[in-house]
Homo-oligomer: A and B are copies of this chain.
């Protein structure tokens, strides 16, 4: 049962049926009611794929993320979804595991018109690639694109990183461990962390106190364990999430070792319970802005301030 069948059955043409379905003008009352009657009688619904093909639009936005285990990604996704839903867009989850080949594959699906736009919450492909593929469709990234001419909605992280490290310094931290999702060379965010560290402590982060590939509570725990196994004792741990910091903390507690000072990120419940200092990156707003950029035709950048939150240490009731 397609639009041509309805056309025949109603005695009008497919063009008229299409007009009725889409509530276009220039349809007589007679035509409208006749067509509607047949549509109702045969319970006809138009094929969305054919429609998308004809319209050259799918109302689908692809969202690329390495995984959904870190609150930053899930937070952005929520932000995008909350904005996309009322606008009639749907989001398609495109997991990449930081794999550039997989991401290129998604970029090609953009060329193939499968999505109206793609938002990269994180990207393994180069910014050059993103700029290149922009000619096919709207692309938004969620990192500072620097001089690259590409739409971006991102967190201005440097200030809060500086605040966090300078607070760390004020606590007399000398051996600062850094737990990152990706190494400095691979991630702009990690690079920012490094810059803030250098600016504060006047030297490079200590390799033996650096761990990458860190995402979850367990990763935090294991990092602390590996520090311990290597006889490394950080006096402060700067983690990429509160849950990660909490995991590290647990290792020390489990082994009756003194717990280093902890700094988390993303303002999670675990950090709230433990009164950890944290950095709130306002990912929900990032998601919202990313969506707005995705459906707009302009290429522009939005940045949002992140906040270093130092909770009242005395209020800890745990």
Q: Which residues of A contact B (CB under 8 A)?
A: 45-53, 58, 60, 68-69, 74, 77-78, 81, 85, 90-95, 108-109, 111-114, 217, 243, 246, 253, 269-270, 273-274, 317-318
A155 vs chain B, min Cβ distance (A): 20
Q: Can you list 12 A-B pairs, Cβ within 8 angstroms, ordered by A?
A: A49-B52, A49-B113, A68-B74, A68-B77, A68-B81, A81-B95, A85-B95, A90-B93, A92-B92, A93-B93, A246-B269, A269-B270
| CB-defined contacts of A78 to chain B, threshold 8 Å | 68-69
Partner of A48, one of B50, B91, B109: B109
Q: Which residue of B is nearest A69, CB measured?
A: B78
Give complex CA distance A60, B53 in Å.
16
Given contacts A78-B68, A243-B269, contact A47 B113 (CB under 8 A): yes
Query: Are A112 and B246 touching (Cβ within 8 A)?
Result: no
Bound-state CA distance A45–B114 (Å) is 12
Chain A to chain B: the 3 pairs with minimum beta-carbon distance, closest first: A48-B112, A318-B318, A48-B114
New A-B contacts (13) at CB < 8 Å, excluding given A47-B53, A92-B92, A269-B269:
A45-B111, A45-B112, A47-B112, A47-B113, A49-B49, A49-B52, A68-B77, A68-B81, A81-B93, A90-B94, A269-B270, A270-B270, A273-B273
Q: How far is the CA of A270 from the CA of B269 in the complex (A)?
A: 7
Nearest-neighbour CB distance to chain B for A269, whole angstroms, equals 5
Instruction: List the B side residues contacting A91 at CB < 8 Å.
Output: 92-93
